[in-house]
Chains A and B, each alone.
Chain A
Amino acid sequence: MRSRYGPYGGAFVPETLVPALEELEGTWRAARSDPVFRRELARYSRDLGGRPTPLYHAEHLSRRAGGAEIWLKREDLLHGGAHKFNNALGQGLLARRMGKLRLIAETGAGQHGVATAMIGAALGLQTEIYMGEVDMQRQRPNVLRMRLLGAEVHPVRSGQRTLKDAINAALRDWIAHVRTTHYLLGSAVGPHPFPSIVADFQSVIGQEILREARRRWGRPPDLAVACVGGGSNAIGTFHPLLRTRTELLGVEAGGPRGHPTGAASLARGRPGILHGTYSYVLQDRDGEIRDTASISAGLDYAGVGPEHAFLKDSGRARYMAVHDSDALRAFRWLSIDEGIIPALEPSHAIYAAVREARRRPASHRIVVTLSGRGDKDLEVAGRALGD
């Protein structure tokens, strides 16, 4: 299993966590070649999750762009309304295999918290979620969903009270309860083996894209676009496409216009160590982590998965930042044009895809991973759009 992506990755953690990370890696190595585990994963993915998800031609949005065809990978149709289900299911099964009956997780937008709460309920595991107080306010419907699903939600009041602080709190809980608890990390970040495991479980997105593209067009898409906070839906989209000629574009949150960083770690950060991994980080001269800003709680993070750092440096993927206001425009476009309300996170990717489509020929096909639906965002988006 890869622990490094070029210079990036690794496991910068307190010694207390090392045995648990070793156990997790060992369990995953054994499980992924175990037909019983694979069958169970496939069964839950299909019957509980609703996989495979469709690839949908967004004809009206394509027409608005004028140029290449835009296709949507409909992860918003997955159980719980986001791609987060894929990883929560996989790690939930691993936790049960390790005999760890308590799950903890961080959540930003609440989608990973909801997915973990669902899996906790489905697998009979006790579930506790850490969520920044600011995020609890801006993603209130998801807090209610998590509680309804039987999870306990702990408000995090330290730091900026958003995703980064929720990860800190979850890591501290894990340090104290590591023998009985699995930390179900929701993004492709954190210490090894999390980035590898999350990429493995999310790669089903890219595998289905590739299979469907070959069936329909006889070739992979010309461009794949996905939003990047920690980068789990993007790495899941990109991984199976790495060996094809598909161009890869990751879209970070640029935040409000004029904000010095937004949450664009790859575009505006530099290499550093945060939450156990070496990757691009928004930080000041002394190495203190900077405050971030984004309208989307799920992208509002100062770090990014180490494999994205490597893909950026190697040039295999490109990354760009999209401002809040442009993400909101795309949010509205997709709603009006296609009757699909996207989450604010993939709205960043939609905007980038429309821009890309404009300057490409009609023969090009762009696949955007629609990583989640926007029900949770109605209040925030409504306010921002002046409704």
Chain B
Amino acid sequence: MRSETDPALRSRRRAVVAYYMVDRVRNGRYATLTQAARDSGATHLELGFPFSDPIADGPILQEAADRALRHGTHWNDLRSAIRETSPILPTIVMSYANPLWTRGLARSFADLRDAGAGGVIVPDLSLEEAGPWRRTARCNGLDLILLAAPGSRLARIAALARASRGFLYLVSRYGTTGRGAISRPEDLAPLVRSAHAAAPDLPVFVGFGIRDRATALRAMGSGADGVIVASALESALARNPSTPTVARVLRPIASAVRAGGI
């Protein structure tokens, strides 16, 4: 299966996905921040589109979304951000279901693809509801990236891995995004193995709570192919949206991802 996010993903090269929120006050800075992420070892960029009711998110990303909406962030800001970032790093969009649905899935996905995005993550989209989303994404040349979680049965993990494109997003623990402990590597390992067995070419990235070298090593200890760094980067950028901030957060994680793993 061809991946739109990044053809090299099929080799299951180790990956670091850097996430930050699209926010109107950051317009014009996305290229600089993304270049800094690449220079610090990021292999992909995930752009968050703010939603008023982000139920899968902890306080850091909730506040980031509130701020972005207060600043008047709109769909067009997302499109222009993707145009800036996608020449630098393969770019994936994270959006809750409603903003994509309400615009019309076909139109939303065409917009994202035309701007240069390779994939889309929808944290409140279950496998059961994903059918039309997967078809429309495929028609528009976008990867629909599904999420798996610690409570998912192994058979379900396999089904999720077969249905996901680009990569499988493995949630690290019971909980929302942000601070807090992640599951032990030995608890995540069976999930990763199950996904790899069902879809050998599909990488598995672990997200939620990855914030430093230790958490990245722990995640990679499960046999995963990469990590996603969201709240840690977003909260650092909220304080100081600069190139050194990006490097400070991402460098230790990127080196751990290269060193760790099984």
Contact = CB atoms under 8 A, between A and B. Distances in A.
- Does B associate with A? yes
Interface of A: 10-16, 18-20, 158-159, 164, 168, 171-172, 175-179, 270, 272-276, 278, 281, 283, 286-289
Given A172-B55, A172-B176, A274-B53, A16 B128 contact: no
A273 B101 contact: yes
Interface string B143-175: 000111111110010001000000000010011
Contact of B55 (A19, A177, A178, A275): A275
Given A10-B128, A12-B126, A158-B62, A176 B176 contact: yes
B98 A15 contact: no
A272 B102 CA distance: 6
A287 B149 CA distance: 26
Given A12-B124, A176-B175, A275-B53, A286 B149 contact: no
Contacts of A273: 96-98, 101, 124
Contacts of A177: 174
A283 B54 CA distance: 15
A31 B96 CA distance: 34
B108 to A, nearest CB: 9
B99 interface: yes
B100 A287 contact: yes
A11 B56 CA distance: 14
Contacts of A289: 52-53, 98
B58 interface: yes
Given A16-B171, A286-B75, A272 B151 contact: no
Interface in B96-115: 96-103
Contacts, number: 110
Nearest to B76: A286
B152 A18 contact: yes
Contact of B171 (A15, A276, A283, A288): A15
B101 A288 contact: no
B69 interface: yes
Contacts of A15: 126-127, 146-149, 152, 160, 171
A19 B62 contact: no
Contact of B58 (A18, A19, A172, A276): A172
Nearest to A3: B128
A176 B178 CA distance: 12
Given A14-B56, A159-B52, A19 B152 contact: yes
A272 B175 contact: no
Q: Which of A19, A164, A274, A287 has the most CB of B within 10 A?
A: A287
B55 A272 contact: no
A177 B147 CA distance: 18
Contact of A13 (B62, B99, B124, B171): B124
Contacts of A276: 124
B52 A12 contact: no
Q: Which of A14, A15, A172, A289 has the most CB of B within 10 A?
A: A15
